[in-house]
Amino acid sequence: MLPFLKTKTALIVASLLVLLALSLGGGLASKGVDTASTYENLKLFTEVLSIVQNQYVEEMEPPKLLQGAVRGMVNSLDPHSSFLDKESYREFQVDTSGSFGGLGIEITIADKKFLTVIAPIEGTPAHRAGIVTGDRIVKIEGIATEGLDILQAVKMMRGKPGTKVTISIWREGWTEAKDVTLVREVVRVQSVRSREAEKGIGVIRIRQFQERTAEDVESALEKLEKNGLQGLILDLRGNPGGLLTSSVEVAEKFLEDGKLVVYTEGRVKQQNMRLAAHARRPRLGFPMVVLVDKGSASASEIVAGAIQDWGRGVVLGTTTHGKGSVQTIIPLSDGSGLRLTTAMYFTPKGRTIHNKGITPDIVVEPPAKAPEPQPAELPKPQSEAEELKKDIQLQRAIEILKASQILGKNREKSRTEAQAR
């Protein structure tokens, strides 16, 4: 330890060394970690910390410096790993409960710098304002988003219901960003909606994979089956993902018992998992079409990939987002947390989709929209009836299922005639 370090600085470094020793000596340590080299590299941190502690224009509190160092380290890993302070960790725990306060936007960091919309959640302030997949959020309340991690951005957009927040949106084809002022509200996500597109053809739309999603899908299937379900469209467009376990529970409703849904591989043995279908009553007796687009990410890609690999249904639409990493939430001793990428996931046939996405069996692009360089306001979403008429991907899925029904009836007729002879 350098002799001129202040006591506070020494305490910070000592704390880091203790944490390092615990991590390197614990059972989860990865093979090949060079302990001596890591300690050697801490000398640079010690040197910088000493200079900041002694010469920075303002005196900095040790906890703030330590959290800043940890946050910078984790942010340098990938866009999905983050350090969560105590408040952020508490907020993060509500993300999969289906109810939270905010705008209703699922975001990512694109190209390692751009805060980008994966998908707006239907029925939320962001969706009603016309924000769409691929929009870049360049400012929040006038503060540039470049350099922010995802959770910092989420924290800035959330707030007390009824309060306003202004975000600046840039869309491909625009010459400048557009300010959009939204009113925060409690976002209650109804993850599953279902309806009949036509007689015998059901549509189940999953907006997000939450704790109850599989149960809601089961209820939707039972309702559609009572009306004579002969073909199903599983709509995962604009679904940013959610819980890994929920995606497996949904996929297994359409796969034979024992079929692999997804497997994960990480550096630590505990992160290597093989998750297979174990549904009590899988639905195998009708054709399926799975709709996807660039807003379909993570858990959505797991479901689409499993159904595609096993030939259970046709995947239709456009190439998905391409998020194939698994994040583990690790609680820390002081009440903060770590959201850390710990594994990559693979489809049953061993495909990795990270930064690649799922390529549909049938590519159907949505109608091209003329760019608006300087829109007066963002276009508002259409009603469900209007969307159904203009939804060429959905209409194509209906055509495919109708053709499957006709082929099935013809095969049954030929079989019956052959038995009669």
Burial code (b: 16+ CB inside 10 Å, e: under 16) for 284-305 equals: eebbbbbbbbbbbbbbbbbbbb
Identified catalytic residue from 300, 309, 325, 391: 309
Contact 97, 246 (CB under 8 A): no
Phi, psi dihedrals of residue 6, rounded to the nearest 5°: -70, 165
Q: Which residues, at least 6 apart from 194, have a Cβ–Cβ distance to it below 8 Å?
A: 202, 203, 204, 205, 220, 223, 224
- Using CA atoms, how far residue 172 sits from 110, 144, 228, 373, in Å, is 14, 18, 44, 9
Distance CA 406, CA 403 (A): 5
- Of 286, 290, 199, 284, the closest CA to residue 247 belongs to 290
Identified catalytic residue from 50, 191, 296, 298: 298
Maximum CA extent, the chain: 100
64 is catalytic: no
Q: Which two tokens stand for residue 120?
A: 């707006």
Identified catalytic residue from 323, 325, 336, 391: 323
78 is catalytic: no
309 is catalytic: yes
Helices (H), 280-323: 299-309
Q: Which two tokens stand for residue 78?
A: 């990938």
β-pair partners for 220: none
Distance CA 320, CA 292 (A): 6
Q: Residue 150: left (phi > 0), alpha (psi -120 to 50), or beta? A: alpha
Active site residues per annotation: 298, 309, 323
